[in-house]
Amino acid sequence: MRPLFIFILIVPFIGLGQSSTIDTAKQFLQNKKYNQAETALEAYLIEAPNDIEGIELLGDAYGQQEKWDEAIESYKKLVEQKPYVANYHYKYGGALGMKALSVSKLRAVAYIGDIKSAFLKAAELDAKHVNTRWALVELYMQLPGIVGGSKSKSLKYAEELEVLSKVDGYLAKGYIYEYDNEPELAEEYYKKAIKIGGSLTCFDKLTHLYETQKKPEKAIANIEEAQVKHKRNALHYQIGKVAAEYNLQLDKGEQCLQIYIKNYSAADGVPKAWAHYRLAQIQKHKGDKSEALRYIDLAIAALPKIEVFQEEKSDILKL
């Protein structure tokens, strides 16, 4: 009886060890410690090579480090072991897509068939898988017609998105029309997305459209509307950036950048050095050489390796 008794005691501890490793790996991923997650999961999968959750997490760790070959291998194991799980096909297709982007256009062609197959299978398996439909919208728009690109197919999946989520559907249609150089229709759908959803993503899409269409006044007005709704310090930087780049509403741009610097936190994303760079641009537009130099020197002191800062200083010195 003794061996059985020992076995009964050991099994729960083995289970606890596996659970602990998976939880630790998840924590590493959450904290963006991707290499540590990779190391823990590789060791774990030597002992439990068929653990589906461990394989998926390892694929995620590889993907976050842009180790696309390894990520592809992990996700391929998932679709082979669990062929009816849509999300595994989606991740496999996504890793293949990122690998295709990392190689030459000639080599990328070899991946297109498998990418399409993976995303289409995911869409077939899960009629409500939003991310897969977004992937198909982008894939069919970006592929040349000769290898299967199709605006009509892209719109088909945008329609499916709209059934699942009006906001996603409107954003997808905005993306399609923006990509196809139909800015009026893109603007219409981005505005619909803002009206229905109103997230920062919705506002950002419309702002980007206005900037690419060289409509900075509209861009600033849209960012200001977003600021009223969301009250994010990062939006102050966006206003200052547009003002500096297009040499308009300079006083407003300067004021917004000063607010951004005063209230800055790491969560705002853009380092303060870039705000100083934009202030230097504004002062250059105003013809104030000394102030422009003061701000660009602050930017360079913080981030000395940014070439555009050095180029801006050269331009200011020519005033």
Query: Residue 278 has which token pair?
Result: 């934009």
Residue 203 DSSP label: H
User: Residues 135, 136, 137, 139: what is their CA dihedral angle, to the nearest 10 degrees?
Assistant: 80
**Exposed / middle / buried, residue 48 (Cβ in 10 Å: 0-12, 13-18, 19+):** middle
Measured distance CA(120)–CA(78) in Å, rounded = 16
Measured distance CA(271)–CA(126) in Å, rounded = 41
For residue 48, give every residue at least 6 positions away whose Cβ sits within 8 Å of its Cβ, in sequence order, or none.
18, 54
pTM of the entire structure? 0.83
pLDDT tens, the chain, 319 aa long:
344 443 434 333 334 345 688 889 889 899 999 999 999 999 999 988 999 999 999 999 999 999 999 999 999 999 999 999 999 999 999 999 999 888 888 888 899 999 999 999 999 999 999 999 999 999 999 887 656 778 999 999 999 999 999 999 999 999 999 999 999 999 999 999 999 999 999 999 999 999 999 999 999 999 999 999 999 999 999 999 999 999 999 999 999 999 999 999 999 999 999 999 999 999 999 999 999 999 999 999 999 999 999 999 999 999 9
Helix ranges restricted to H, 126-232:
130-142, 151-164, 166-179, 183-196, 200-212, 216-230
Q: Are 268 and 298 in contact (CB under 8 A)?
A: no
Secondary-structure class of domain 22-126 per CATH:
mainly alpha
Q: Are 280 and 296 in contact (CB under 8 A)?
A: yes
Q: Does domain 232-319 have CATH number 1.25.40.10?
A: yes
**Exposed / middle / buried, residue 141 (Cβ in 10 Å: 0-12, 13-18, 19+):** buried
Measured distance CA(23)–CA(40) in Å, rounded = 11
Side-chain half-sphere CA neighbours of 208 within 13 A: 13
Residue 50 DSSP label: T
Measured distance CA(177)–CA(183) in Å, rounded = 7
